[in-house]
Structure 1
Amino acid sequence: MRGTPTGRQLRLGAELRRLRERAGLTSTQAAQLLGIKQNQVSNMEAGRHGVSPDRLRTIACHYECSDKALIKALAGMTPDRKRGWWEEYRGLLPGRLVDLAEMEHHAARLRAGVTAHIPGLLQIHDHAREVIRQVVPELSPPDVEHRLSFRIKRQAVLFGDHPTPYLAIIHEAALRMQFGGPEVTKRQLRHILEMTERAHITIQAIPFAAGAYPGSGQSILYAHGPVPQLDTVHLDQSHGSALIDAEAQLDKYRVLLGRMADMALTPEKSRDLINTILQDL
C-alpha cells in the first residue's frame, strides 16, 4: 500500500476502473474473477496499490479487453521503482504541479496553446521568475525559487538524446507581454527563435488580426499518450492546475487545438512575426 498516489498512478487506476465498467462488472464481481478481495480492487483503482505488468494483463483478460495497443500502454504505466526528479518537489509544491512534470516526462508528444503567457517549457529564467512572482497570493522568496527551478527542470523533455516532439501555438498577445521589461522580453523572444531551429520543436503564432477563436481564454497543454485513450490535458488556471482525461473532454481539446493551429501562421511566418515584435521593442 502506497501513500499519496502520483498523477500517473491515479490515471492507471482510473483506466482499470474504466476497463471493469466496460466489462459490466462490479468491484465485487471483479474481485471474484481475480481471486482477490474487493478492497484490493478498490485500492488498485484508487492508485493506492501497485499493479505488475503481468497482473495488469491478467486483469485485462478477465475484463475481456482485446485492445492490444491499450493493454501494452497500460502495462508500460505500471509502477517504476525509479523515482523521477520531480518527486524531490513533492511536498514543496502543489501535487498537481508535480504531476505535470511526470505527465510531460512520459508524453509521446506535447502540444500547447496559450494566449497570455509564453509556455513554461519555453520560458527563460528571468521571464519565468517574473511570471511566478505574479502568483496570488504572493509567494515567499524561497517558494518563488522552488517553482522557478522546477519550471526550468521541466524543460529537460525538450533536450537530450530523445527529446519530446513539441508544438506550441502562441498568441501575439503573449509574445508582446513584457514580463520583466523590454530587455528580458527581447531575450525571451530570441530564445523562442533559437528553439524553432530544433527539428522536434514547432512554434506557430496567432496574430491579433486572426480575430477570436474558441478557447482563447485558456492555457492548454495536451500530452499525447502511447495510445489516444491515455492522452491527458493540463489546464493552467488562476485557482490551480487541472488534469483532464475524460474522453469527451479530450475530444473537445483536440478540436480546440486544431482550430488554433488552423488560425495560426505557418512556422516561417511565425518567425517573421516574432522578429517584427523584437524590432518594435
Structure 2
Amino acid sequence: MPPRGTPTARQQRLGFELRKLRERAGMSATEAAALMSLTQSRVSNIELGRYGVSADRVRMFARTYKCGDPALIDALAAMTTGRTRNWWEEYRDTLPAMLLDLAELEHHAASIRTAQFTHLPGLLQTVDYARLIFRQNIPELSPPEVEHLVSHRIKRQGILYKDEPTPNIAVIHEAALRMQFGGPDVMREQLQHIVKMGERDNVTVLVIPFSAGIFPGTGQTVVYAEGPVPQLDTVQLDTEHGSEFLYADAQLERYRTFMDRFEAAALDADASSELIHSIINSL
C-alpha cells in the first residue's frame, strides 16, 4: 500500500507521539526498525502519519520503547480506530483540509475550552451570524462556498448535543458581545442563543468584562481541546493563513496557563449571563 499523500492532523499527531516515545527511549529510527523487524523508512513514514498503524502495532512500539504509561498507550491505540467515513469527509472536495482537521479534533476531544475576543465561538454561532462572518472573507467567496462553510460550522456543533455531549467552556470578551455584526436583530438572536446554550449542563459561558483590563494573550483566539490524557491535548489557533495546531509539551503548558488566566479574569457563569442579558436589552 502506498503512503498517504496528505495525512490528517490526527494521523500526524499519532506519528508525532510515537516519535516522541522513540526519542525518549534514546533510539534512532534505524535502531527501532531493527528491533521490530521493520524498515527504517517504514518507521519514519509511520511517524509522519503517512502510513496507517494498527492498535496492536502501537502497543508493540510502546513495548519496544519501554513506555510505562498504560493510560497513554491505551489512548494512542485508540487513535488508530474510527477509520469509517465521518460526516466531515463529505466536505473534503469543497473545504480546506484544516477545517476538516478541526472538526475531527473536536469530535474526539474529551472537553473543549475556547477563548474569543472579537468574534463569538464557532460552536455557539447561529446560522445568520456564521453566514455574515464568512461573507467578509478576502478574497470574496461565492454564495455556494459560503453555504458550504456555514453548513460545516453548524454540523460541528453536533458534539454539544449528542447523547454524551462534549463539555465546553467558552470564554468570551465583552467586546465580541457588543460587536453589532449584522445589526441589532442578528446580534439579539445570537446573544439569546448563547444565553440558552449556557443553560445546558455541558456548556459554561464566561464573559471577560471591559473592566478586567489587560491579561496575557489579549486578542488571541484559542481552542484548547483536551485529550483522553493530558499528553494528547491540542491547541488550535486561528490565523489569517488558516488554522495552526500545537501540541509540543511547552506549548501545551503555555496555553493551559493562558486558559486558566482567561477564566480567572472572567465573571462567573451567573454574572456572565446577566451581562449578556443587559447587552441584549440595550439593542
**TM-score, L = length of structure 2:** 0.97
* Structure 1 residue corresponding to 2:35, chosen from 3, 19, 33: 33
Conservation of the 8 A alpha-carbon contact between 1:166 and 1:202? yes
**Which amino acid in structure 2 is aligned with residue 88 of structure 1?**
E
Please list every run of at least 4 consecutive aligned residues from structure 1 whose deviation after the TM superposition is greater than 3 angstroms.
Answer: none
Cα RMSD over matched residues? 0.9
CA drift at 1:3: 3.6
Conservation of the 8 A alpha-carbon contact between 1:9 and 1:79? no
CA drift at 1:160: 1.7
1:229 maps onto 2:231 in alignment: yes
Aligned equivalents of 2:35, 2:170: Cα separation in 1: 46
Corresponding residue for residue 103 of structure 2: 101
**Which amino acid in structure 1 is aligned with residue 176 of structure 2?**
A
Aligned equivalents of 1:48, 1:181: Cα separation in 2: 47
* Structure 2 residue corresponding to 1:114, chosen from 96, 113, 116: 116
* Correspondence list, 1:26-175, <5 A: 26-175=28-177
Structure 1 residues 67-111: Cα deviation after superposition (integer angstroms, max 9, x where no partner):
111000000101422111111112311111110000000000000
Conservation of the 8 A alpha-carbon contact between 1:51 and 1:79? no
SS in 2 for 1:111: strand
Conservation of the 8 A alpha-carbon contact between 1:50 and 1:79? no
Structure 1 residues 42-81: Cα deviation after superposition (integer angstroms, max 9, x where no partner):
1111111111111110110001111111000000101422
**Which amino acid in structure 1 is aligned with residue 83 of structure 2?**
R
**Which amino acid in structure 2 is aligned with residue 106 of structure 1?**
H
Corresponding residue for residue 20 of structure 2: 18
Corresponding residue for residue 197 of structure 2: 195
Corresponding residue for residue 216 of structure 1: 218
- Extract unaligned runs of 5+ from structure 1: none
**Which amino acid in structure 2 is aligned with residue 59 of structure 1?**
F
* Correspondence list, 1:241-260, <5 A: 241-260=243-262
Aligned equivalents of 1:67, 1:163: Cα separation in 2: 28
SS in 2 for 1:204: strand
Aligned equivalents of 1:27, 1:91: Cα separation in 2: 35
- Extract unaligned runs of 5+ from structure 2: none
Identity of aligned residues (%): 58
Aligned equivalents of 2:139, 2:250: Cα separation in 1: 33
Aligned equivalents of 1:93, 1:104: Cα separation in 2: 17
**Which amino acid in structure 2 is aligned with residue 26 of structure 1?**
S
Conservation of the 8 A alpha-carbon contact between 1:218 and 1:237? no
